[in-house]
Amino acid sequence: MDIINKITKIIEDNHAQLVVVSKTYSPERILEVYQRGLRVFGENKVQEILEKKDLLPSDIQWHMIGHLQSNKVKLIAPFISMIHSVDSEKILSEIQKQAKKIQRRIDVLLQMYIATEETKYGLSEDEMWLILEKIHLGKFPNIQLRGLMGMASFSDNLSLVKGEFKSLKTIYDEVIERYHFENFDTLSMGMSGDFELALEEGSSMVRIGSLIFGKRNYS
Ligand SMILES: *Cc1c(COP(=O)(O)O)cnc(C)c1O
């Protein structure tokens, strides 16, 4: 079976959503996938989103999935559908500021540090609770907190990865129980190599690139 059909079937069966991660792939390749009916695309660099966006259909929903610098927020604020990579209060404040200027409410996820190996970005649980308290107190009115995002260790050790997904799901459930935030419904976890495991562990949004497009060329 065709890989896109196969992936979308698994994701639908799990009532989850697909973000097609198109970083490093050309607009032509992205358009081919778009023509298969997919509309949600994720990129990790601001400059790359801006360049591609102008060349591609306007009904694409762009998700920012990579580490974001404060000075770049204003460039994506007008159109971005969701920011998965909120990894500090500073960046959240900047998103609030830019969203307010243009009278938008921007969907965001807090990126959690769950990997036991590598990965530079992500909030600790303590940092997360501090931010949640401020959101709860109404300090970020132009932000719509939709959920959490996490990246598991890049490892063949399935039980390690599974444990990391489980811990993120546990935190996600605790947030729901404590705050009952409105529209808090998104747990973004799982990539090409581990999305089925992530879905088993309760993911509601998977971010898949190379499994759809083929091996990435970073040059
Ligand atoms: C690149 C990337 C992905 C997708 O990776 P694949 O292994 O190609 O599916 C998912 N999430 C983030 C944050 C990424 O940077």
Atom of ligand 1 nearest to the CA of 207: 10
**Does residue 197 fall inside a structural domain?**
yes
Q: Which domain holds residue 114?
A: 3-213
Tens of pLDDT, residue by residue over 141-163, are 999 999 999 999 989 999 999 99
Tens of pLDDT, residue by residue over 26-82, are 999 999 999 999 999 999 999 999 999 999 999 999 999 999 999 999 999 999 999
**Does residue 56 fall inside a structural domain?**
yes
CA of 103 to the centre of ligand 1 (A): 31
**Rounded to an integer, what distance in angstroms lies between the CA atom of residue 50 and that of residue 46?**
6
**Does residue 45 fall inside a structural domain?**
yes
**Does residue 219 fall inside a structural domain?**
no
Number of domain units in the chain: 1
**Does residue 218 fall inside a structural domain?**
no
Pocket test for ligand 1, best of 119, 149, 191 (most atoms within 8 A of CB): 191
Atom of ligand 1 nearest to the CA of 84: 13
> 92: domain CATH number?
3.20.20.10
CA of 178 to the centre of ligand 1 (A): 30
**Does residue 184 fall inside a structural domain?**
yes
Q: How confident is the model at residue 208, as a pLDDT? A: 98
